[in-house]
Amino acid sequence: MKILTVVGARPQFIKAAVVSRAIAKYNKEASDRENIEELLVHTGQHYDANMSDVFFQEMQIPKPSYHLGIGGGTHGTMTGRMLEALEWLLVKEKPDLVMVYGDTNSTLAGALAAAKLHIPVAHVEAGLRSFNMNMPEEINRILTDRISSWLFCPTETAVKNLEQEGATQWPGVRVCNVGDVMYDAALFYRERAKPGSVVASLLNQYQDGFYLATVHRQENTDDVNRLRNIMTALDEIAERVPVIMPLHPRTRKYVREAGFHLQNICCIQPVGYFDMICLLNQCRAVFTDSGGVQKEAYFFHKPCITMRDETEWVELVEHGYNLLVGADRDKIIEAEQHFFAKVIDFSDNLYGNGKAGEKVVKLLMS
Ligand code: UD1
Ligand code: UDP
Cβ contact 278:204 at 8 Å: no
Mutate to test the pocket of ligand 2, among 245, 275, 290 (most ligand atoms within 8 A of CB): 290
Ligand 1 midpoint to CA 9 (Å): 7
The single residue of 118, 216, 301, 338 carrying the catalytic annotation is 216
CB-facing half-sphere around the CA of 335: CA atoms within 13 A: 25
**Ligand 1 touching residue 105 (CB < 6 A):** yes
Q: Which CATH architecture fits 2-180+352-364?
A: 3-Layer(aba) Sandwich (3.40)
**Ligand 1 touching residue 51 (CB < 6 A):** yes
Mutate to test the pocket of ligand 2, among 214, 299, 351 (most ligand atoms within 8 A of CB): 214
**Whether the model pTM is above 0.95:** yes
Decide if pLDDT at 313 tops 90: yes
**Ligand 1 touching residue 233 (CB < 6 A):** no
Q: Closest residue (by CA) to atom 4 of ligand 1?
A: 104
Q: What is the mean pLDDT of residues 222-242?
A: 98
Ligand 2 midpoint to CA 261 (Å): 24
For 131-166, b/e burial (b = at least 16 CB within 10 A) is eeeebbbbebbbbbbebbbbbbbbbebbbebbeeee
Question: In angstroms, rounded to a whole number, what is the distance separating the alpha carbons of residues 282 and 206?
Answer: 10
Ligand nearest to C-alpha 136:
1
**Ligand 1 touching residue 103 (CB < 6 A):** yes
Active-site residue 216, yes or no?
yes
**Ligand 1 touching residue 104 (CB < 6 A):** yes
Decide if pLDDT at 30 tops 90: no
Ligand nearest to C-alpha 144:
1
pLDDT in tens, 61-96: 999 999 999 999 999 999 999 999 999 999 999 999
Ligand nearest to C-alpha 44:
1
Strands (E), the chain: 2-7, 37-42, 66-67, 97-101, 121-124, 150-153, 174-177, 211-214, 243-246, 266-268, 285-288, 304-306, 322-324
Mutate to test the pocket of ligand 2, among 220, 221, 244, 276 (most ligand atoms within 8 A of CB): 276
**Amino acid at the residue 335:** A
Give the SS3 label for residue 129: coil
Share of the chain above pLDDT 90, in %: 98
203 membership: H or E segment, kind and range: helix 197-205
Ligand 2 midpoint to CA 313 (Å): 15
User: Which residue would you say has higher pLDDT here, 347 or 157?
Assistant: 157
Banded pLDDT at 295 (limits 50, 70, 90): very high
Domain range 197-340, its CATH number among 3.40.50.920, 3.10.20.30, 3.40.50.2000, 3.40.30.10: 3.40.50.2000
| pLDDT reported for residue 31 | 72
**Ligand 1 touching residue 67 (CB < 6 A):** no
**Ligand 1 touching residue 346 (CB < 6 A):** no
Give the angle subtended at the CA of 239 by the CAs of 234 and 240, to the nearest 5°: 100
Ligand 1 midpoint to CA 46 (Å): 6
Ligand 1 midpoint to CA 45 (Å): 7
Q: Closest residue (by CA) to atom 35 of ligand 1?
A: 72
Question: In angstroms, rounded to a whole number, what is the distance separating the alpha carbons of residues 256 and 248?
Answer: 12
The burial of 318, by beta-carbon neighbours within 10 Å (0-12 exposed, 13-18 middle, 19 or more buried), is given as exposed
Domain(s) labelled CATH 3.40.50.2000 in the chain stretch across 2-180+352-364, 197-340
Q: Closest residue (by CA) to atom 11 of ligand 1?
A: 104
Least confident window among 26-35, 107-116, 274-283, 294-303 = 26-35
**Ligand 2 touching residue 14 (CB < 6 A):** yes
Q: Which atom of ligand 2 is nearest to the CA of 269?
A: 8
**Ligand 1 touching residue 79 (CB < 6 A):** no
| pLDDT reported for residue 34 | 87
Q: Closest residue (by CA) to atom 14 of ligand 2?
A: 11
Banded pLDDT at 33 (limits 50, 70, 90): confident
Mean pLDDT, rounded, of the chain: 97
pLDDT in tens, 5-29: 999 999 999 999 999 999 999 999 9
